[in-house]
Amino acid sequence: MGHTDLTSLLEEEVSFLRIKVRIHCKRCGERFVLRGRMEQGQIQTGFKRCICDNCEFIIEVMEKHA
Ligand SMILES: [Zn+2]
């Protein structure tokens, strides 16, 4: 995941897609459904790590809309 500064966040406010993602933990198999957004092809959910302290996931986009 890349990072964006505040200036570019404001500029991209109109161009992101709202998405719903399913996150599947590679370690314990826990699944989470979250809402996030897609900006310039990058998925942003704010999700950092699983309850098992793992931070490697499979992320699947379920819904996409403007
Ligand atoms: Zn986990």
Ligand 1 centre from 57 Cα, in Å? 8
pLDDT value at position 15?
80
Ligand 1 centre from 20 Cα, in Å? 19
Distance CA 34, CA 47 (A): 8
3-class DSSP state for residue 5? Answer: coil
Give the global pTM: 0.69
Sheet holding 31-39, edge to edge: 42-44, 31-39, 17-25, 57-65
pLDDT value at position 18?
94
pLDDT value at position 65?
84
For the segment 8-59, what is each residue's pLDDT rounded down to a tens digit?
555 555 688 999 999 999 999 999 999 999 988 899 999 999 999 999 999 9
Ligand 1 centre from 7 Cα, in Å? 34
pLDDT value at position 1?
54
Of 1, 50, 7, 3, the residue nearest 29 (C-alpha): 50
